Amino acid sequence: VIWDETPANMDAYRLYVGGLKGGHSGMEIDKQRGNANKVLGRVLRDLSAHTEFYISEVHGGLKTNAIPRESVATILIRTEDVGQVEEKLESWTRVLQEEMRAVDPDVHVTLTKLDETVEKVFAKETQKQLI
């Protein structure tokens, strides 16, 4: 990971994917359950086409042999872009709930403002490779 300094005039947010059932990769892999890490990647890729943001952290899944049921990224967004991002995420929740209605109907994507200061963010090239 290559790091950059945190850009000015941006606020930190928690981007969360949850509501998935997850499961053991050897037992439930054939049930077509959603993978929170993959969902988060799709959402971040889409956001990157419409909004400038920076990633400082990404976490998802608790075990290497499990289908992740939650995934989270700490991202930095300009205040004036938050409304647009929230609308996008509401749309993503609807799309995902439709896509996964048979196996993971409770999937959701949320954005929560953080009070913490973020010291560093992924360099753009690192972020691009991640997404």
Provide the CATH number for the domain around residue 36. 3.30.70.360
pTM over 0.85: yes
β pairing state of 3-5 and 71-77: unpaired
What's the mean pLDDT in 11-32? Answer: 86
Q: Going by C-beta distance under 8 Å and a sequence separation of 6 or more, which residues neighbour residue 72?
A: 14, 15, 16, 17, 40, 57, 58, 59, 60
- What is d(CA 105, CA 107) in angstroms, rounded to the nearest whole number? 6
What's the mean pLDDT in 82-99? Answer: 98
* Strand partners of residue 58: 73
Q: What end-to-end distance do the CA atoms of the chain give, in Å?
A: 13
Which structural domain, as residue segments, surrounds residue 68? Answer: 3-130
| Residue 10: count of CB within 10 angstroms of its CB | 18
- Residue 80: per-residue pLDDT: 97
Q: Which of 44, 33, 10, 8 is nearest to 101 (CA)?
A: 33
Residue 24, pLDDT > 80, answer no
Sequence-ordered strand ranges (E) for 21-107: 23-24, 53-60, 66-67, 71-77
Tally the domains of the chain: 1
Confidence of residue 53 (pLDDT cuts 50, 70, 90): very high
